[in-house]
Amino acid sequence: MALIGAVLLVVAVVAWVLMPVTKGQHASLERDRDELTDAEARRRVALLALRDVEYDYHTGKLDENDYRALRSELSAEALAALQALEDESTGARRAVDAELEAEIAAVRAGLEAGTTCASCGHVNPQGSRFCASCGGALAAREVSPSS
């Protein structure tokens, strides 16, 4: 009886472990915004390794020649990663530029409608009479009820 219980337990555990596979679940290929990029990960690894090399050298675990060789190798790697990171951020900067353009357009539209706050620059929804951010009175055109 105990054997049957054990077998059932094993079957249950295996089924539970395989559940994502049998259900066809898989990790998303989309990169999360906060996930490290390749270049950033490489840079961090190189810098951590450099720190370890420094530590090992100063604690006497590494001799002068090994230290110099490792340090120049890791420095080159960190520099290469930094270069790659810069290339990546050029693309990111373009995306930020587009975002800024959209924001500027929104502020401009708000200024034309009189809903952008003159004192803090907050873009308020259409028909607002006071700023939702600082509470200041807006120069918004009155929506005439006669129309």
Binding-site ranges for Zn ion (CB under 5 A) = 117, 120, 122, 131, 133-134, 136
Looking at beta carbons only, is 62 or 131 nearer to Zn ion? 131
Minimum Å distance from CB 111 to Zn ion?
Answer: 13
Contact (Cβ atoms closer than 8 angstroms) between residue 49 and residue 72: no
Minimum Å distance from CB 105 to Zn ion?
Answer: 19
Minimum Å distance from CB 131 to Zn ion?
Answer: 3
Looking at beta carbons only, is 70 or 117 nearer to Zn ion? 117
What string of DSSP letters covers 23-89? TT-----SPPTTSPPHHHHHHHHHHHHHHHHHHHHHTTSS-HHHHHHHHHHHHHHHHHHHHHHHHHH
Minimum Å distance from CB 124 to Zn ion?
Answer: 8
Looking at beta carbons only, is 127 or 136 nearer to Zn ion? 136
Contact (Cβ atoms closer than 8 angstroms) between residue 43 and residue 86: no
Looking at beta carbons only, is 85 or 111 nearer to Zn ion? 111
Contact (Cβ atoms closer than 8 angstroms) between residue 94 and residue 104: no
